[in-house]
Amino acid sequence: MLTEDMTNVPNDLEAFWIPFTPNKQFKAAPRLLAKAENMHFTSTDGRRILDATAGLWCCNAGHGRERIVKAVQAQVAELDFAPSFQFSHPKAFELASKLANLFPGQLDYAFFTNSGSESVDTALKIALAYQRARGEGTRTRLIGRERGYHGVGFGGISVGGMVANRKWFGQALGGIDHLSHTLDIERNAFTKGQPEHGAHLADELERLVALHDASNIAAVIIEPVAGSIGVYPPPRGYLEKIREITKKHGILLIFDEVITAYGRLGKGSAAEYFGVEPDLVTTAKGLTSGVIPMGAVMASKEIYDTIIGSQADERLIELFHGYTYSAHPVACAAALATLETYKEEGLFERAASLAPVWEEALHSLAGEPNIIDIRNIGLMGAVEMSSIPGKVGHRAYEAMRLGFHEHDIMLRITGDTIALSPPLIVSEEQISQIIDKLRKIVHAVA
């Protein structure tokens, strides 16, 4: 039972400017959460809300996990803060070592941030610093991808390709170009897993190299699976081609794995899942299972050694970048406990074993009203609906609203796509519940 305090709804909702939310609508009919445990939130009116989105792609271990909670409580009492410039603490090094072991190949160095947005801007700056440190200072151009999401910093929205995130804020960073996105509903609709068509789109990178010259290009950043736009698995062979072209021209490859790292695909990273090793990986979200804000950029040994080695005087700073809360002790404690939870409970392996069940359940919605595509990979999925003429996004928004208020489920939407990413602790029965609820919702908004 909820306590009286937990059911209290604020009398005044006005002062909070809610991000990525239509504020007027929300404040007229708020969706307020009071508690969370395992696979469910509890609303302020006492209803159990099935979490089909791992919060915001982040609560991979589920909610209220005892090991993580206790680790955070203990750390606050022991060491609440340690400066991140010129000082540190043991858990930062312990966590970095564990991450170096988790990520494949030479991705051996962790630079800690506080969010995915900070991880992206950090990776872009590291890429530029690396090119300068190795004597390639003309390499300043960055290449992203249409419909890509790389957070909301000016670097992230510049290399990102989601129009609404860019159009309000002027030119942002200069020297940016974009590859085409990989969604091809006409040829790949209702594909299970990676689509067969689209690897040729990687060849566009050669066109951009010819246009700008490789000597001016520092890095390419892409999501191995485009997540926030609505789950676009990469076409077969696409990532391999991108890696081949970047290596050929001395261009760094950055994988934005803020969503895909830490078990979402049944592996520690998408780099491991696809067998393609980038030079930098951005992470956040599942690193602490959403408990404490934290991110990490994994960098190759080559990048680290080049930047660190560029400063001959060992008393001088090699990279002028960082955050007050980089490697915050409480965040490190949460991350270490989260990694232990993943390992001891075999959650990455669990996700891998559930992926075929998830795939079949999700694709059972094919043929339901207004569904024009279904996409999936690992424990990620998207159901794309046709748009109401002149009202793009209205159908999915209504699905999200009805999901919470009438069907006790949390859904994530983007445009007219419903994106799904349940915690890795989801059961087969709960997968069935998600699909059953979604089927009813799709009929309700037809």
pLDDT at 10 over 90: no
Rounded distance, CA 64 to CA 131, Å? 43
Backbone angles phi and psi of 418, in degrees to 5:
-100, 120
CATH number of the domain located at residue range(s) 70-342 in this protein:
3.40.640.10
What does the pLDDT look like over 279-335, one tens digit per residue?
Answer: 999 999 999 999 999 999 999 999 999 999 999 999 999 999 999 999 999 999 999
What does the pLDDT look like over 23-64, one tens digit per residue?
Answer: 999 999 999 999 999 999 999 999 999 999 999 999 999 999
**CA-to-CA separations, 225 to 32, 143, 194, 287, 325, in angstroms, rounded:** 30, 17, 10, 18, 29
Question: Are 374 and 384 within 8 A, CB to CB?
Answer: yes
- The per-residue pLDDT for 293 is 98
pTM summary value: 0.96
- The per-residue pLDDT for 5 is 52
CATH number of the domain located at residue range(s) 4-61+345-444 in this protein:
3.90.1150.10
What does the pLDDT look like over 92-115, one tens digit per residue?
Answer: 999 999 999 999 999 999 999 999
Residue 18 CB-density burial (10 A; 0-12 exposed, 13-18 middle, 19+ buried): exposed
- The per-residue pLDDT for 1 is 42
Q: How many helices (H) and strands (E) in the chain?
A: 17, 15
pLDDT at 200 over 90: yes
Residue at token pair 């424990």: 379
Each domain of the chain, given as residue ranges in start order, spans 4-61+345-444, 70-342
**CA-to-CA separations, 147 to 122, 179, 231, 232, 428, in angstroms, rounded:** 21, 10, 11, 10, 32
What does the pLDDT look like over 378-434, one tens digit per residue?
Answer: 999 999 999 999 999 999 999 999 999 999 999 999 999 999 999 999 999 999 999
